[in-house]
Amino acid sequence: MDKRWLSIKEKVENGERLNKDDGIYLFSVKDILSLGELARQVKLKKTGRDVYFNVNRHINLTNVCASRCKFCAFGKGLDDPEAYVMDVEEAVRLGREALPLNITELHVVSALHPELPFQYYVDVTRALHEAFPDIHIQGFTAVEIQYFSDISGLSVREVLQALKDAGLGSLPGGGAEILNDDLRRLTCPRKATSQQWLNVHRTAHQLGMRTNTTMLYGHIETIEDRVNHLIKLRELQDETGGIQSFIPLPFHPQNTAMSHIVRTTAVEDLKMLSISRLMLDNVDHVKAFWIMLGVQVAQVSLEFGVDDLDGTVVEEKITHAAGASTEPGIGKSELIRIIRNAGYNPVERDTVYNIIARY
Amino acid sequence: MKPGVILAEILEGRRISGEEFLFLYQEADLLALARAAVTIRDRRFPNDLITFIIDRNINYTNVCSCRCKFCAFYREATSPDAYVMGKEELFRKIEEAVNAGATQVMIQGGLHPELGIDYFTDMFSSIKRKYDITIHSLTAPEIVHIAGVSGLTTRETLQRLAAAGLDSLPGGGAEVLHDEVRTRISPNKIRTAEWLRVMQEAHEIGLKTTATMMMGSLDTVEHRLAHLEAIRELQDKTGGFRAFIMWTYQPGNNELMGSKVTSLEYLRMLALSRLYLDNFAHVQGSWVTQGKQIGQLSIFFGADDLGSVMLEENVVRAAGLAYKASKEEIIDLIRKAGKTPAQRDTAYNILKIF
């Protein structure tokens, strides 16, 4: 390996922060085994041999979306025959059906419905919380929160406070896509800007809610965009400490307006995960979202700096609309099996990383 | 014993024992195994190439008296979807393959009680008259079966097939070369000693073969080691194996069911195979049973070849798998792993670098 690599390795081993140039250089490293070893070393220091997962149920309240981003295969127009909106009772019914699976989280992520009032989301949250007071509600991406603010005339803080009062526990990391406004204008022009996205997370942290963060990669972004994105998250984390995990999401092109793009390969996915671990020195958890990566690559990623495999994810619709060939949900026993088989300790966590059980 | 010490000694060229293999399987860090396997691979092939072949699998019949428990392909002779392929269809398939750039046909089938030596010598000689293509066909259980049906020894059978145009033998039917496993998953199939004898005879009359292993059904790591020991020993004797090809058992549509080998288990065994089989030049990564993603990662665990861009593969597909990888996709996977893709022929000569 060359000098540049050795100096980066030394920095990481001394706990020094990597800069933007380091990040860009890491993407040019061909030897993914070295990246894996270094990222794994950082992971082991942070969370030892524990690998986390949770048992959750996804609820996608509606697929009607005013945003219609180019990388999305899920959003539909109001008059589309496949358009749907769930009423409050339906959402509660879905939650109740998942109770026998011993879920600890309801994961509520939806679309930007052009007609539903903000009150609907508050009502759903309250109904879910009242029906299942012990189950953590993680819901509403920063993009949805910003949209609620736009349609209600309330500030982002007021929106978050109202949802928190109704029972919202934390925010998922979706809608970050790539935090570069030139690219957002091209791919998702009607969505929250980079600053708005970051501001929602900052505000949530200030209100005492933890959040996850994501990046959608493998579409039209450059390596520099990816590194900038990681640095923006790292800076926010320095400020608030409220980011509990980072989840890089490979773009699934099928059925989207960018279907000409070739899906990233396993090598690129593992690179992205290990570099995320190396750049985000102040974030505890790097998560492999197996729904998008596939279970097989997600398992391999445990040797590349990942310490979380997300959840059992009953009935995920958004990635599957874009042609993900993974199963829509896998059982807890399968998650435990692949973690154990990789030589790590399977740990079931709740949404905010309290340990529920070790297996 | 320390894994690091053993790995360092392997890199110095020392052959490892079975005991050390088991120790590394249990104790060695996966990425350290991968690193050693890649180092050994790169020493053998310093050109940075990762190869593939374009071929077509042709399954001449699905009627099989073997009825292995892990198989989803076989049918009884009386089954409504039982078939024996006629020459017209065979030629059409080969013609398509040749037109698509294939350099090899892999003709394999069930153990059909009525198909004897003449069916195959006629098939091979007529293929050779019409097409310039390598016939890499018939596994050891088929050779034994054809010999039995025809009242010949296996050596005579191999000689007559070679004279008719058979170029080399695939390593299929080996499953795991340990009779404890074979009696449970394929009780009617030839035993370990017979598989090895057919391979040895093939090598002795000048037919090269590959060696395969299908891991992950009822086998333990000790069984897999026995398999690797047996083929390493035979390779020392004959040098007739061109490559080692490891598949993973596919649960689905069969009697055995069970769960699938995880990707890390597969990659660990792959790297260890590269280290243990110091007398094998080529170790293949299997995208057919592991998928394109893990197929690509096998490059970082010691594989130098991704096998075939297959135009047809009925046996694996019958178990519910439908991986298709076109030539372009394989080339893309290899490039994105930072390597140079190259098309090879059956003997591993490089035909074209991409």
Kind and range of the H or E run holding A52: strand A50-54
Site of tokens 């070369």? B177
Residue B126, domain CATH: 3.20.20.70
pLDDT per position as a tens digit, A123-133: 999 999 999 99
Cα–Cα distance between B150 and B171 in angstroms, integer? 22
Per-residue tokens: A146: 């910003």
Q: How far away is chain A from the Cα of B339, in angstroms, using its nearest Cα? A: 9
Taking the mean position of all CA atoms in its chain, how far away is CA A40? 20
Per the structure, the complete domain to which residue B231 belongs is given by 48-353
Distances (CA, A) of A302 to A54, A136, A332, B195: 16, 26, 17, 38
Please name the residues in contact with A304: beta carbons below 8 A apart, sequence gap of 6 or more. Answer: A32, A35, A36, A39, A40, A270, A273, A274, A277
Contact A266 B259 (CB under 8 A): no
**CATH architecture of the region A3-358:** Alpha-Beta Barrel (3.20)
Say yes or no: A266 contacts chain B, CB-CB below 8 A: yes
Q: Is residue B74 part of a domain?
A: yes
Predicted pLDDT at B323: 41
Using CA atoms of A93, A99, A100, A104 in order, give the dihedral in degrees to the nearest 10. 150
Closest CA to B212 of B245, B257, B242, B188: B245
Residue B17 lies in a domain: no
Distances (CA, A) of B66 to A21, B144, B259: 61, 12, 23
Residue B322 — very low, low, confident or very high, per pLDDT cuts 50/70/90? very low
Question: CB-CB: which of B30, B291, B332 is closest to A303?
Answer: B30
Tell me what percent of chain B is helix, strand and coil, each rounded to the nearest 5: 45, 15, 35
φ, ψ of residue A243 to 5 degrees: the values are -85, 120
Domain count of the fold of chain B:
1
- Is residue B313 pLDDT above 60, yes or no? no
Q: Locate B213 and state its tokens.
A: 């292993």
CB of B11 closer than 8 Å to CB of B274: no
- Does residue B320 carry a pLDDT above 50? no
Answer whether residue B84 is part of any domain.
yes
> Alpha-carbon distance A278 to A23, whole Å?
8
User: Chain A residue closest to B259 (CA)?
Assistant: A334
Q: Under a CB-based contact definition with an 8 Å cutoff, are residues A8 and A23 in contact?
A: no
Q: How many CA atoms lie within 13 A of A177 on its CB side?
A: 28
Task: Please tell me the predicted confidence (pLDDT) of residue B324.
Answer: 46
What is the residue-wise DSSP string for B192-230?
HHHHHHHHHHHHHTT-EEEEEEEESSS--HHHHHHHHHH
Separation of alpha carbons B221 and B206, rounded Å: 32
β-bridge partners, A214: A247
Is B289 a residue whose pLDDT tops 60?
A: yes
Which helix or strand (DSSP H or E) is residue A318 part of? Answer: helix A318-321
Structure token pair of residue A343: 């030589």
Contact (Cβ atoms closer than 8 angstroms) between residue A213 and residue A246: yes
> CA-CA distance, B287 to A193, in Å (whole number)?
41
Q: CB distance A300–B338 less than 8 Å?
A: no
Q: What is the mean pLDDT of residues B210-219?
A: 93
Quick one: which of A109, A50, A58, A53 has its CA closest to A311? A53
> B2 lies in a domain?
no
- Window 155-184 of B, Cβ < 8 Å to A: none
Find which of A267, A290, A302 to mutate to test the B interface (most B CBs within 10 Å of its CB).
A267
Q: Which residue, among B339, B217, B259, B276, has the nearest Cα to B24 in the 3D structure?
A: B276
Q: Is residue B248 part of a domain?
A: yes
Tokens, residue A238: 């320095």
Instruction: Select the residue of A266, A303, A341 nearest B294 (Cβ to Cβ).
Output: A266
Q: What percent of chain B is predicted at pLDDT more than 90?
A: 77
Residues of B whose CB is below 8 A from A30: 338
Q: What number of CA atoms fall less than 13 Å from residue A308's CA on the CB side? A: 27
- In this structure, are residues B296 and B330 in contact, taking their beta carbons and an 8 Å threshold? no
Position B75 pLDDT exceeds 70: yes
Structural domain contains residue B180: yes
Q: Can you give the C-alpha Rg of chain B in angstroms?
A: 19
Helix ranges (DSSP H) in B104-151: 117-130, 140-150
How confident is the prediction along chain A (359 residues), in pLDDT tens digits per residue?
A: 689 999 999 999 999 999 999 999 999 999 999 999 999 999 999 999 999 999 989 999 999 999 888 888 889 999 999 999 999 999 999 999 999 888 999 999 999 999 999 999 999 999 999 999 999 999 999 999 999 999 999 999 999 999 999 999 999 999 999 999 999 999 999 999 999 999 999 999 999 999 999 999 999 999 999 999 999 999 999 999 999 999 999 998 887 888 888 899 999 999 999 999 999 999 999 999 988 899 999 999 999 999 999 887 665 566 666 666 566 567 788 899 999 999 999 999 999 999 999 99
The Cα–Cα gap between B71 and A143 comes to 50
The minimal CB distance from A341 to the residues B264, B294, B337 is found for B264
Decide if A294 touches B, using CB distance below 8 A.
yes
Residue B300 at interface with chain A, using a CB cutoff of 8 Å? yes
Question: Collapsing DSSP states into helix, strand and coil, what is residue B183?
Answer: helix
| Residue A1 contacts B where some CB pair is shorter than 8 Å | no
Q: Return d(Cα B180, Cα B192) in angstroms, integer.
A: 10
What ipTM was estimated for this complex? 0.89
pLDDT greater than 90 at residue B117: yes
For the record, the structure tokens of B304 come out as: 């130098």
Using a CB-CB cut-off of 8 Å, the residues of chain B touching A333 are none
The span from the CA of B171 to the CA of B246, in Å, is 10
- Domain boundaries in chain A? 3-358
Tell me if B307 is assigned to some domain.
yes
Tokens of B128: 């050779």
Strand partners, B241: B209
Residue pair B263/B294 in contact by the 8 Å Cβ criterion:
yes
| Distance, first Cα to last Cα, chain B | 44
Predicted structure pTM score: 0.91
Neighbouring CB atoms inside 10 A of B132's CB total 7
Phi, psi of A217, rounded to the nearest 5 degrees = -125, 165
3 state DSSP class of B342: strand
Q: How many CB pairs under 8 A join A and B?
A: 67
The type of residue at B95 is: E
Give which of B43, B48, B53, B49 is closest to B10, Cα–Cα.
B43
Calpha distance B78→A79 (Å, rounded): 54
